[in-house]
Amino acid sequence: MKPADLARAALLPVTEFVVLVPVMLFAILATIGMSGGLLGILVLILLLPPIFRFQMLVLEATAKGEVPEPLDAENFSFVGSGWALFPLPMVVFIGWATVAAGVRYGDGASSLVLLVAACLLPASLAVLAITRSPLQSLNPVAITRLLKTCGATFWIASVYLFATSWLCLQLDSLPLLLTNLLQLLLSFSFFTLTGALIKPYDLFEEVYIADASERGEQEIRGDIERTRVAELGHAYVFISRDNRKGGFEHLFAAIEKDPDPVAAWGWYFGRMLAWDEQRHALFFGQHYVHDALRHGESVAAVKTILRCRLIDERFKPLPEDLPAAIAAAENSGNTELALVLKRG
């Protein structure tokens, strides 16, 4: 990786507006929280989850070579994207272990704990971003496999973590707001650099690093369900803000990554039908029909058209899909639907 690329990645929290603005917001809220009192403590407690969640989402986007998505209300929720919150207990544990080692064995022991953490934490975070599995992020096999793959350059992340941590400790003499801002920028800089270091290896194409033991079918179905719920919730944020195109594009990308894309189309369509505003489901239904016809799933296409026409009898597939939809209706024996579609 070229030095210029590393510098660009490290400076991304400053140069990328969608990251810089949330960091400034976090710094202001952290300053309010550190002002003291019960309200301040509450602000800090509520602030930690969105900071860690957004950092992981930024790391994931950087590793994929994508621009991070803007901060939204979902980031402040205590549900959804639970995997992205896992660095919080990891950091708490490292802090506790450092203090405990220092009290029991002296400064040398605490420094050793920090050194080990600096070596392993970046790899653990990278595995977490790739697999979205907290268990995998603690799996020595997965961590070792990642280090073997990226070892030629990944050591830079550990050095950078140690350097940024040291810099953060030197900022205490500055005004509180400036200290918080610079510390957050350095923290986010570590996450973006870590993401950039694994990007050249296309590890996201592997999708999954195998668990040490086989997972049951029910557990796998549960993981798929939770992922779909989170993806639909994310899309709803876009759609509810009059950005249907952005919401649909997010779902299309999620369907492409889904282990069962055919079932995913039906799942998302069914959940949209339960929304108060069903017209979004009708527009999504047009894309569902398009995909079903493209893959020869004529029965699913006809059923979807009929379901949409129960909501709005004016519903029609996309213009380019009308000939195939008419043929599918005729082949399924639904001549009435075929005639309606022919009337245009």
The domains of the chain are located at 3-206, 219-342
Q: Which amino acid is at 110?
A: S
**Alpha carbon of 157 to those of 6, 114, 122, 195, 311: distances in Å?**
10, 14, 6, 9, 54
CB of 160 closer than 8 Å to CB of 197: no
CB of 195 closer than 8 Å to CB of 61: yes
pLDDT digits (tens, 9 = 90+) for 91-130: 889 889 988 988 888 888 888 988 888 889 999 999 998 8
Tell whether the torsion through CA atoms of 125, 131, 136 and 139 is positive or negative: negative
pLDDT at residue 52 above 50? yes
**Alpha carbon of 6 to those of 99, 120, 237, 293, 308: distances in Å?**
32, 20, 33, 45, 50
| DSSP H/E element including 301 | helix 298-311
pLDDT digits (tens, 9 = 90+) for 131-181: 888 888 898 888 888 888 887 899 999 999 989 988 988 888 899 999 999
Helix 37-63 crosses helix 107-131 at what angle (to 10 degrees)? 60
Token match 């950091």: residue?
91
How many C-beta neighbours within 10 Å does residue 185 have?
Answer: 18
According to CATH, the topology of domain 219-342 is: 1.25.40
pLDDT digits (tens, 9 = 90+) for 10-36: 999 999 999 999 999 999 999 999 987
**Alpha carbon of 189 to those of 29, 82, 139: distances in Å?**
19, 22, 25
- Tokens representing 78? 């205590």
Closest CA to 308 of 331, 280, 336: 280
- Tokens representing 220? 């796998």
pLDDT digits (tens, 9 = 90+) for 172-219: 889 999 999 999 999 999 999 999 999 888 776 544 444 444 445 665
Mean pLDDT of the chain, nearest integer: 87
pLDDT digits (tens, 9 = 90+) for 275-325: 888 899 999 999 999 999 998 899 999 999 988 988 888 899 999 999 999
Cα–Cα distance measured from residue 320 to residue 194, given in angstroms and rounded to the nearest whole number: 45
CB of 51 closer than 8 Å to CB of 181: no
Q: How confident is the model at residue 332 (pLDDT cuts 50, 70, 90)?
A: confident
pLDDT digits (tens, 9 = 90+) for 57-69: 999 999 988 888 8
Q: C-alpha angle with apex 255: 276 to 204, nearest 5 degrees?
A: 135
Q: What is the DSSP secondary structure assignment for residue 71, as one 8-state letter? A: P
